[in-house]
Structure 1
Amino acid sequence: MKEESPKAIFYALAANMGIAVCKFAAAAFTGSGAMFAEAIHSSADCGNQVLLLFGLRQARRPASPLHPLGAGRAIYFYSLIVALLLFFVGGAFSVYEGVHRVLVREPLSYAYVALTVLGVSVVLEALSLAGAMREIRKTNPDKSLWRWFRETRESELLVVAGEDIAALAGLAIAFVAVLLTMLTGNPLFDALGSVGVGLLLMVIAYLVAREVKSMIIGESASPEVRRAIDAHLRARSEIRSVINLITLQWGRHVVVAVQAEMIEYDSGRAMVDAINIIEAELQEKFPQVRWVFFEPDVPRV
């Protein structure tokens, strides 16, 4: 399995840093609540990407007596923190800002400036999302985006893609809100745009957090990897039948536990040698399999 690639995270970080600066300047210049909500969102995204990079570094720590399987699942923790920040810092704050502007109407100045910044932001976010999609398609060329979202075990890429999708949709909402405010002169549209952006972020954050929570609890390897491992084992001439197979995703690595009925051997040593060969060839074919626990057994009646 490939090492975690931070390319998508760097794409997103670079895009969001530039976008955040432009949005804050435009929000101060125009007084747009929707633009301010978008600026807060982009700032939160920058912090989120830094957290993900830190999480990837933590996940590479070697095994120790305290953590005998290593720290690979640390990235799941940091991904959950990012999802929570997206929900509260990005989503809840944007809703609060929008509600405040509904109650206290503030005029929008120089709307064309806000629209220009939003248009530029759409381009930058689209480039960031394209980078994330390239990383996704490298290993999942035939899956729909939704299926990949539900089945992926790469939490950091899941978070980046979720953020980018939320950002593009949020920009569209903010653009429409500012445009309606400019055309009608009614700042209510701008305030409602801020609420809409916030609610959208909260929904995306919930979906991301739900998937990451499942990884933290402990998910098997992806369905296609588990099926391939099962087929590989059942094709082995040394194995009469696979009684039970458990896979557990551990960051970028996979833990495999096998309970199998072996063919007859002249001695216990011969069976041990056969099991060692099976384990070595399994790890050779599936480089992501770091640990294999093999138990010879007989089926229970």
Structure 2
Amino acid sequence: MDKNSKEHTKTANGSNHIIQSLLVNVVIVISKGFAAFMTGSGAMLAETIHSTADCANQILLLFGMKQASKPADEQHPFGYGMSVYFWSFMVAMLLFSIGGMFSIYEGVHKYNNPEPVHEIGWGIGVLLFAIALEGYATYSNIVELNKRKGNNSFFSYLRTTKDSDLIVIFGENSAAVLGLIIAILALLVSYFTGDSRYDAMGSLGIGVVLISVAVFLAVEVKSLLIGESADSIILETIEVIIKKESSITQLINCRTIQQGPREVLVCVKIKCSPNLNTQSISLLINNFEKELRALRPEVKWLYVEPDFQEWKA
């Protein structure tokens, strides 16, 4: 499989993970909503709202990926790849506001106005069912992340990857699993102690988890949204190419900007041998561009400036 095919496969896998998570959450919303009605649990209601927000988030991510696939035009000469980052940031905001803040509000309300939980069997059954579904979705995310991380550690990859869509889905799913565990514990403690304030604290705990994940996602996506440099592998590849080309005597500078999960803008200034004519320089640059794109197909825009002078800072 060539590199372009691999990049297309990554895009397809990203969409598949989003669709998978969306379908899982639709089923979970229905089951959690029914259980919240049957038990009167605040933690269960918080989880229902959380899963509803996740459904909206995944629809936004799919929309963002569709926007990012639009070709470049006069108004957006570098394409629409960064649309994914914008919608990923919006997902983080929705997770913070609709999911996290509502869960905290519901927890405070239930704590100040405690109501006994009942029909606990419905709640536990639905929560275990939801854990199975969310756990499977999270496991699928982890498998895909492990495929992409290469030699990086798992958490290092989470901090440095440009695949914001997959990171957002992983963040949502892992937060959902943790939230479900908190909801089960809160429901059980509340039921067996007869004190529904434990259920309210469960809702508060879910809110804290969601807000923490939302803040992490917002910080990571913000860096991409305002123009983060591409992976260092691109600079390393450029340096390798230059070492092999005797007509290039120095890499003066290299600037990269991530324009989307798999689209990079590269600007390079090189020092060339002084005996080259215009035709030789053109051929040199064309060969340099061809080799870099062959090795790093994510380099979609490449600008190379030749120079003959000693460079000073």
TM-score bin (small chain): over 0.9
- Identify which of 126, 130, 143 aligns with 1:121: 130
Contact 1:111 1:182 in 2 (8 A): yes
Letter in 2 for 1:111: I
Letter in 1 for 2:64: G
Who is 2:270 aligned against?
A: 260
**Alpha-carbon distance in 2 for matches of 1:125, 1:260:** 50
Q: Name 1:276's counterpart in structure 2.
A: 286
Cα RMSD between the aligned structures? 1.4
Aligned with residue 220 of structure 1, among 223, 229, 234: 229
Alignment correspondent of 1:299: 310
How does 1:185-204 map onto structure 2 within 5 Å?
185-204=194-213
2:116 maps to amino acid: P
Partner of 1:7: 16
| 1:62-81 CA distance string (max 9 Å, x none) | 11111111111111111111
State the Cα distance separating 1:43 from its structure 2 match: 0.6
What is the correspondence of 1:143-158 to structure 2 with a 5 Å cutoff?
143-158=152-167
Amino acid aligned to 2:286: N
**Residue type of the alignment partner of 2:132:** V
Contact 2:182/2:205, CA 8 A, preserved across alignment:
yes
Alignment partner of 2:35 out of 4, 26, 39: 26
Of the three residues 65, 69, 74, the one matched with 1:60 is: 69
For the residue of structure 2 that corresponds to 1:220, the secondary structure is coil
Task: Quote the residue 1:103 is aligned against.
Answer: 112
Equivalent residues of 2:65, 2:84 under 8 A apart: yes
Is the CA contact 2:186–2:201 (under 8 Å) kept in the aligned structure 1?
Answer: yes
Q: CA deviation at 1:167?
A: 0.8
SS at match of 2:250: strand
**Pairing partner for 2:219 from 185, 200, 210:** 210
Partner of 2:96: 87
CA distance in 2, matches of 1:230, 1:168: 44
When residues 271 and 132 of structure 1 are mapped into structure 2, their CA distance, relative to the original with a 3 A threshold, is same
Mapped to 2, the partners of 1:283 and 1:39 lie a distance apart of 47
AA at the equivalent of 1:102: Y
1:134 and 2:147 aligned? no
TM-score where L is the length of structure 2: 0.92
In 2 relative to 1, CA 238–134 (structure 1 residues): closer, same or farther, beyond 3 Å? farther
* Residue 185 of structure 1: how far off its partner (Å): 1.2
Deviation of the 1:183 alpha carbon:
1.7
Residue 236 of structure 1, CA deviation: 3.0
Deviation digits for residues 108-150 of structure 1 (CA, Å, limit 9, x no counterpart)? 0011221111111111111111222222222214333321111
Deviates more, 1:125-134 or 1:62-71: 125-134
Does the 8 A contact of 1:6 with 1:53 survive in 2? Answer: yes
Preserved contact between residue 110 and residue 200 of structure 2 (Cα < 8 Å): yes
Q: With the length of structure 1 as denominator, give the TM-score of the two structures.
A: 0.96
- Return 51-60 or 226-235, whichever deviates more: 226-235
The number of residues matched between the two structures is: 301
- Structure 1 stretch 10-19 or stretch 233-242: which is displaced more? 233-242
Q: Residues 134 and 299 from structure 1, CA distance in 2 versus in 1: closer, same or farther, beyond 3 angstroms?
A: farther
Cα distance in 1 for partners of 2:229, 2:120 equals 50
| Distance of 1:270 and 1:289 partners within structure 2 | 23
Separation in 2 of the partners of 1:120 and 1:203?
A: 25
Unaligned runs of 5+ in 2: none
CA positional deviation for 1:92: 0.2
Unaligned residue ranges in structure 1 (runs of 5+) = none
Q: Which amino acid aligns with 1:286?
A: R
TM-aligned CA distance change 1:225 to 1:116, over 3 Å? farther
Deviations, residues 210-257 of structure 1 (Å, cap 9, x unaligned): 111000110111233443343333443332111111111111211111
* 2: CA distance, partners of 1:139 / 1:265: 44
> Match of 1:29, as an amino acid?
M
